[in-house]
Chain A
Amino acid sequence: MSFLELSNLSKRYGPVTALAGVDLSVASGSRTAIVGPSGCGKTTLLRLIAGFEAPDQGRIVLDGKVLANGGAAVPAHRRGIGVVAQDGALFPHLTISDNIGFGMERGEDKRTERIVELAYIVGLDKAILKRRPHELSGGQQQRVALARAMAMKPRLMLLDEPFSALDTGLRASMRKAVAELLEAAGITTILVTHDQAEALSFASQVAVMREGKFSQVGTPRDLYLKPRDRMVAEFLGDAIILPARIADGFATSPLGRIAVDTTENRDIARIMLRPEQIGLKRTSREGMSGTPDMLFGEVTESEFAGALCMVAVRLLNNPDPPDAAAIGNTPLILRKSGMDAPAVGEIVRLTVSGKAHVFA
């Protein structure tokens, strides 16, 4: 059942179109990530849902209640939607305790107990409750912001790039902690981010946004493996995109014959592979001979970068080349485990695992 329903939301700032007709349906208790490059309109969308601004057009319905219909909008303070902003937006003039209790009624029963409990839930030590926001680290500030938003028992939680200011290591652990926490509390969550890995790992539903519109909405897996277009594909990760001819569930491409995820036959198509689908096996020039349907390449660059290595491979042969010249000169860029990455000059055999995705 749809908990939050956005239909045809539009918003303009003067000549700039921030949102150009957005539709989205969010299930109760689910986690949705909205991901897109900066300036794509994702923050505007969040602000419309939060009620900080009113849409020019379109409807927002939360749990059956219309929050906005065109210009007529319920103001933010009557929506009961939690928001955690990019840098926490903690009130600098209040203690941590007062920050967390900000949305509670002054005389609320067991106010102090609830504040302590919330602090515990988000993993904050009780000792910091008397401190001021500027005495806290970035991660702690985000936890306070989350506790503060949870204090009002929101039905919907909006997270506006809440992890972007954190260190890489902290970011992943915070993301996981927050996801679990909100899941446990049963709060429907929408995360806005420009970080695709964050979106894919956090959400059960991901919406890729571009120029004020959703390019594609779906599960992380679907979006990653079956992007609708090149833009989505490349936004969510490295992609190898090749021209191909599709017939009987197989593509004939510069990389040879590859299974595809469609049964439709097409003479001219473009397929996409994720680099991790391509395996490299060390061999030698001698090993190349006598295996016409196999694909070989020469390593032209190998850059060590810790756990992963960047390896550039130039194809040496292609069994069935529709436009061999072009692909032959463009090396494939692959990331391989640093432990056994081939060195420059080595000859490798390329294998493809899984199916390639065919763009519509």
Chain B
Amino acid sequence: MQSAVDLARSSLPSKTRRRAHRRVAPSIVTAAVLVSLLALVPLAFIIWIAVQTGWETVSALIFRPRVGELLVNTGLLVLLTVPIAIVLSVSLAWLTERTDLPGARLWAWLCVAPLAIPAFVHSYAWITILPGLHGLWAGVLVSVIAYFPLLYLPVSAALRRLDPALEDAAAALGLGPWRVFRRVVLPQLRLAICGGSLLVGLHLLAEYGLYVFIRFDTFTTAIVDQFQSTFNGPAANMLAGVLVSCCFVLLGLEVLVRGEERYARVGSGAARHQPRAHLGRATILCLLLPGITTLLTIGVPFITIGRWLVAGGTEVWRFDEIGLALGQTLFLALAGALLATIAAMPMAWISIRAPGPLQRVLEGCNYIVGSLPGVVIALALVTITVRIALPLYQTLFTILVAYALMFLPRALVSLRASIAQAPIELERAASSLGRAPLNALWSTTIRLSAPGAAAGMALVALGIMNELTATQMLAPNGTRTLAMAFWSYSGEIDYASASPYAFIMVAMSLPLTWLLYVQSKRMAGR
């Protein structure tokens, strides 16, 4: 879950950028540049491998029917899933934010809660209920279920901050409710929809476990297949190259569709409280949508996990094994989160205190790498460590670096938001009281941004906890995280033994999704 990506861009109000602070402590800039260079390594590596492999092999490996097949699969998956997810999220967001739907707040949270369930656990639940489920439409179904909250979050936040006066104005100009929605509300949701769609698209490209269960081949599953058959062979790396190109296509598309338009509220008055549409007799009908969605997204996994837990009885609770996996998972999650947060600090500081061309370039690097699938980053790190830095191969260090690269944007968003709230004057005051620049920074801004850093860490930890592909490829000897254990058991069709792991992952993630929900509200500017 790289959900930080869209928030990253929308969360920087221009007024927090202070041009005054031009004289940046050089050490911070150096640190930021180093982090960004490190972030670019996986990308550079794929290019290097391609060059090294030679054009003939590259074209033989890329221009073959299998790649075309995967391209069609992956393309159709994105083209079908994203629009369905948009319609579903916009409908749900409208119902929960703008109508008098009973229990709207509860439904709103339930629309975010599916994020607590790793995508492969969704798939596991569905394959239990419908064992024959497979192929494109199965992929679309489970993908929508697993990832629509990534759209729901920004859309509902955007809907919440729309100025109702605009809708009134449109009505007064003679537009009926539907036309108001189409001509005034929807265009203003465009940024949120674009950002959310991009996130969903990137997740679809990166997801592995979900599609393995339902036998749907995408680039990511094919890369893992190749990795399992040939380790870091050129075929895997070339597939990764195509996958990265797909990511870039998505990023570019989003930039095109989003355009340069500004959607900020014009005018100075405080936005009035939004009136909620009265559903009246349609209430029952409208309750069906969030009801069915919740049943499919939360009900199915919980019922399935529950069923397997009951079927497995006490036997599946092998506490020594589970305890070990839990401990390792927590350690990796916390250490990874800490590393990502520390790595994000210089970047976050620069983007608030010294915005400029350099900062935009650096930020772009982190942003692009953050949108790469875990399998690509892992593959690159495996190859790099094996070929160049063998002592680092399969070490804690490497896996933590992978996590940091994958989840840096998440940490960045939270940090940036909280640094923006720490006034620069404090840093200056500390300097004027005789502290050296870094010391001044430490004693003011960094301490004040601690809550934001903690929130960011929690979100990174959430991502690491449910990460499977990179962990499998990079983890040090003897590592067995919850996700790995779950995957190993479910791979042997021992669904009952897998269920405690699924249960623990979901139970630990639920509170963190609440954090995500709250953060998205804050990012929305209210």
Q: Do B266 and A149 touch across chains, with their CB atoms under 8 A apart?
A: no
Q: Do A152 and B173 touch across chains, with their CB atoms under 8 A apart?
A: yes
Question: B165, B172, B263: which contacts A87 (Cβ < 8 A)?
Answer: B165
User: Digit string of A85-97 for contact with B (CB within 8 Å is 1, else 0)?
Assistant: 1111111111000
Chain B residues, Cβ within 8 Å of A91? 166, 169-170, 184, 187
A76, A94, A145 interface centre (most CB from chain B within 10 Å): A76
- In the assembled complex, the CB of B385 is this many whole angstroms from the nearest CB of chain A, namely 48
B165, B184, B268 interface centre (most CB from chain A within 10 Å): B165
A51, A87, A141, A149 interface centre (most CB from chain B within 10 Å): A87
Q: Do A76 and B267 touch across chains, with their CB atoms under 8 A apart?
A: no
Question: A50, A77, A87, A151: which contacts B266 (Cβ < 8 A)?
Answer: A87
- In the assembled complex, the CB of B270 is this many whole angstroms from the nearest CB of chain A, namely 10
- Is the C-beta of A331 less than 8 angstroms from some C-beta in chain B? no
User: Digit string of A232-254 for contact with B (CB within 8 Å is 1, else 0)?
Assistant: 00000000000000000000000
Chain B residues, Cβ within 8 Å of A79? 172
Chain A, residue nearest B259 (CB): A93
Q: Do A89 and B173 touch across chains, with their CB atoms under 8 A apart?
A: no
Question: B174, B184, B263, B266: which contacts A80 (Cβ < 8 A)?
Answer: B174
Separation of A85 and B166 alpha carbons in the complex (Å): 9
List which A51-97 residues lie within 8 A (CB) of chain B. 51-53, 75-83, 85-94
Q: Do A87 and B268 touch across chains, with their CB atoms under 8 A apart?
A: yes
Chain B, residue nearest A85 (CB): B165
Question: A86, A90, A132: which contacts B262 (Cβ < 8 A)?
Answer: A132
- In the assembled complex, the CB of A50 is this many whole angstroms from the nearest CB of chain B, namely 6
User: Digit string of B147-176 for contact with A (CB within 8 Å is 1, else 0)?
Assistant: 000000000000000010110111111111
Q: Do A93 and B188 touch across chains, with their CB atoms under 8 A apart?
A: yes
Given A85-B165, A87-B165, the answer on whether A92 and B265 have CB atoms closer than 8 Å is yes
Q: Do B171 and A51 touch across chains, with their CB atoms under 8 A apart?
A: yes
Chain A residues, Cβ within 8 Å of B173? 77, 102-103, 148-149, 151-152
Chain A residues, Cβ within 8 Å of B267? 86-90, 138, 141, 165
Q: Do A133 and B172 touch across chains, with their CB atoms under 8 A apart?
A: no
Chain B residues, Cβ within 8 Å of A90? 266-267
Separation of A75 and B168 alpha carbons in the complex (Å): 11
List which B219-269 residues lie within 8 A (CB) of chain A. 261-269
- In the assembled complex, the CB of A81 is this many whole angstroms from the nearest CB of chain B, namely 6
- Is the C-beta of B134 less than 8 angstroms from some C-beta in chain A? no
Separation of A220 and B163 alpha carbons in the complex (Å): 34
Chain A residues, Cβ within 8 Å of B428? none
Chain A residues, Cβ within 8 Å of B275? 52-53
Q: Do B263 and A152 touch across chains, with their CB atoms under 8 A apart?
A: no
- Is the C-beta of A134 less than 8 angstroms from some C-beta in chain B? yes
Question: A52, A149, A151: which contacts B171 (Cβ < 8 A)?
Answer: A52
Given A77-B175, A92-B265, A141-B266, the answer on whether A102 and B168 have CB atoms closer than 8 Å is no
Q: Do B165 and A89 touch across chains, with their CB atoms under 8 A apart?
A: yes
Q: Do B269 and A87 touch across chains, with their CB atoms under 8 A apart?
A: yes
Chain B, residue nearest A134 (CB): B266
Chain A residues, Cβ within 8 Å of B188? 92-93
Question: A53, A76, A93, A165: which contacts B172 (Cβ < 8 A)?
Answer: A76
Q: Do B169 and A83 touch across chains, with their CB atoms under 8 A apart?
A: yes
Given A87-B269, A92-B263, the answer on whether A77 and B168 have CB atoms closer than 8 Å is no
- In the assembled complex, the CB of B178 is this many whole angstroms from the nearest CB of chain A, namely 10
Q: Do B165 and A149 touch across chains, with their CB atoms under 8 A apart?
A: no
Q: Do A89 and B166 touch across chains, with their CB atoms under 8 A apart?
A: yes
User: Digit string of A143-166 for contact with B (CB within 8 Å is 1, else 0)?
Assistant: 001001101100000100000010
Chain A residues, Cβ within 8 Å of B269? 86-87, 165
Given A76-B168, A93-B187, the answer on whether A88 and B266 have CB atoms closer than 8 Å is yes
Interface of A is mostly: loop
Question: B172, B177, B268: which contacts A81 (Cβ < 8 A)?
Answer: B172
- Is the C-beta of B215 less than 8 angstroms from some C-beta in chain A? no
Chain A, residue nearest B172 (CB): A83
Separation of A85 and B174 alpha carbons in the complex (Å): 16
- Is the C-beta of B521 less than 8 angstroms from some C-beta in chain A? no
Separation of A201 and B267 alpha carbons in the complex (Å): 25
Chain B residues, Cβ within 8 Å of A87? 165, 266-269
- Is the C-beta of B190 less than 8 angstroms from some C-beta in chain A? yes
- In the assembled complex, the CB of B294 is this many whole angstroms from the nearest CB of chain A, namely 29
Separation of A319 and B333 alpha carbons in the complex (Å): 90
Chain A residues, Cβ within 8 Å of B168? 47, 50, 52, 76, 83, 85, 89
List which A186-237 residues lie within 8 A (CB) of chain B. none
Chain B, residue nearest A142 (CB): B267
User: Digit string of B43-68 for contact with A (CB within 8 Å is 1, else 0)?
Assistant: 00000000000000000000000000
Chain A, residue nearest B170 (CB): A102
Separation of A133 and B163 alpha carbons in the complex (Å): 14
B168, B187, B267 interface centre (most CB from chain A within 10 Å): B267
Question: B171, B190, B268: which contacts A77 (Cβ < 8 A)?
Answer: B171
Given A88-B267, A89-B267, the answer on whether A50 and B172 have CB atoms closer than 8 Å is yes
Chain B, residue nearest A86 (CB): B269
Chain A residues, Cβ within 8 Å of B184? 91
- In the assembled complex, the CB of B275 is this many whole angstroms from the nearest CB of chain A, namely 8
Chain A residues, Cβ within 8 Å of B266? 87-88, 90, 92, 133-134, 141
Separation of A278 and B353 alpha carbons in the complex (Å): 59
Chain A residues, Cβ within 8 Å of B268? 87, 138, 165
Q: Do B166 and A76 touch across chains, with their CB atoms under 8 A apart?
A: no
Q: Do B172 and A134 touch across chains, with their CB atoms under 8 A apart?
A: no
Q: Do A103 and B174 touch across chains, with their CB atoms under 8 A apart?
A: yes
Chain B residues, Cβ within 8 Å of A51? 171-172
Q: Do B163 and A89 touch across chains, with their CB atoms under 8 A apart?
A: yes
Chain A residues, Cβ within 8 Å of B265? 92
Separation of A311 and B168 alpha carbons in the complex (Å): 47
Chain A, residue nearest B261 (CB): A93
List which A80-129 residues lie within 8 A (CB) of chain B. 80-83, 85-94, 102-103
Given A92-B188, A134-B262, A134-B264, the answer on whether A85 and B176 have CB atoms closer than 8 Å is no
Separation of A82 and B174 alpha carbons in the complex (Å): 9
Separation of A171 and B435 alpha carbons in the complex (Å): 50
Chain A residues, Cβ within 8 Å of B264? 92, 134
List which B86-134 residues lie within 8 A (CB) of chain A. none
B171, B187, B264 interface centre (most CB from chain A within 10 Å): B171
Chain A, residue nearest B179 (CB): A77
Chain B residues, Cβ within 8 Å of A132? 261-262
Chain B, residue nearest A144 (CB): B266
Separation of A264 and B382 alpha carbons in the complex (Å): 103
Chain B residues, Cβ within 8 Å of A93? 187-188, 190, 261, 263
Separation of A145 and B268 alpha carbons in the complex (Å): 15
List which A32-61 residues lie within 8 A (CB) of chain B. 47, 50-53
Chain A, residue nearest B268 (CB): A165
- In the assembled complex, the CB of A174 is this many whole angstroms from the nearest CB of chain B, namely 15
Separation of A211 and B82 alpha carbons in the complex (Å): 51
Separation of A87 and B175 alpha carbons in the complex (Å): 20
User: Digit string of B268-300 for contact with A (CB within 8 Å is 1, else 0)?
Assistant: 110000010000000000000000000000000
Given A85-B165, A93-B187, A133-B266, the answer on whether A149 and B172 have CB atoms closer than 8 Å is yes
Chain B, residue nearest A164 (CB): B269
Separation of A81 and B172 alpha carbons in the complex (Å): 6
A89, A103, A145 interface centre (most CB from chain B within 10 Å): A89
Interface residues of B (CB under 8 A from A): 163, 165-166, 168-177, 180, 183-184, 187-188, 190, 261-269, 275
Instruction: Contacts A77-B172, A103-B175 known; list 13 others, CB within 8 Å.
Output: A77-B175, A83-B172, A85-B168, A85-B169, A86-B269, A89-B165, A91-B166, A92-B166, A93-B190, A102-B173, A102-B183, A138-B267, A148-B169
Q: Could you write out 14 A-B pairs with CB less than 8 Å apart?
A: A52-B275, A76-B168, A77-B173, A78-B174, A79-B172, A81-B172, A89-B163, A92-B166, A92-B266, A103-B173, A103-B174, A133-B266, A134-B266, A165-B267
Report the 4 A-B pairs with minimum CB-CB distance, sorted nearest first.
Answer: A87-B267, A103-B173, A76-B171, A89-B165
